[in-house]
Every structure is written in C-alpha cells, then in structure tokens.
C-alpha cells in the first residue's frame, strides 16, 4: 500500500491527495508527524515496514524532513538486509537477492 507522511502545515493537502488516491482504488495511510523534533523513528519504521510506497510531504527546505527520513529508512533497510544475510550465511543457503525501492 501507500503511506503519506506529513510534516508541518501540509496535512490538509495530504488528506486531499489521500482522497484522490482512494478514488482510484489506492487508499493510503496518512500519518501526521506534526513536528520534526522529537522525531518518531518508530512511526517511520512502522510505515516503511508495512507499505510499498512512502511519500513525505513538507514545506520543501533543502536537507529537511525528507532527507532526515531517508537516513532513517536506509538504516532500516540496511538492518533488514544484514539480518537476512546473517540467516542465509548461517544456513549456507544458495540465495539471490533483489533490492529495489520497495525493499528486499
């Protein structure tokens, strides 16, 4: 599914976008981060874990919320990859991995 993560005064636009997506058969999850600090890493990890697409919406400052989110998400993906690799190596399994924007 699709998740939309809003920061700041953009929630109304996110809800409009959610309605548009739902009308096309893609009902998204909308989360309101409200404030950048303290950053809710549990929320971000939960959204990343349970959705194929995660969209962040903010005022658009360079190096802002989207950049910070990406650093959290890439860490999450790296931990998942490390855990899978560890399990495969322990069992000596012949496995091929494919990684794309949706994950492993």
Q: What are phi and psi of 32, to 5 degrees?
A: -105, 105
The pLDDT value recorded for residue 50 is 87
The pLDDT value recorded for residue 16 is 94
Secondary structure element (H or E) that encloses residue 73, with its range: helix 65-91
Query: Which whole number is the average pLDDT over 93-101?
Result: 66
Give how far the C-alpha of residue 20 lies from the chain's centroid of Cα atoms, to the nearest Å.
20
Query: Which whole number is the average pLDDT over 23-29?
Result: 92
The pLDDT value recorded for residue 22 is 94
Is the bond preceding 38 in cis, omega lying within 30 degrees of 0?
yes
The pLDDT value recorded for residue 30 is 95
CA pseudo-torsion sign 38, 44, 46, 47: positive
The pLDDT value recorded for residue 74 is 65
Query: Which whole number is the average pLDDT over 67-96?
Result: 68
């Amino acid at each position: 599914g699709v998740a939309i993560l809003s920061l700041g005064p953009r929630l109304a636009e996110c809800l409009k976008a959610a309605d548009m997506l739902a009308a096309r058969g893609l009902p998204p999850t909308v989360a309101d981060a409200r404030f950048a600090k303290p950053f809710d890493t549990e929320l971000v990890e939960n959204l990343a874990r349970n959705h194929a697409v995660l969209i962040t919406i903010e005022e658009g400052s360079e190096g802002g919320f989207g950049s910070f989110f990406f650093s959290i998400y890439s860490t999450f993906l790296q931990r998942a990859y490390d855990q899978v690799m560890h399990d495969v190596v322990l069992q000596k399994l012949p496995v091929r991995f494919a990684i794309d924007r949706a994950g492993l």
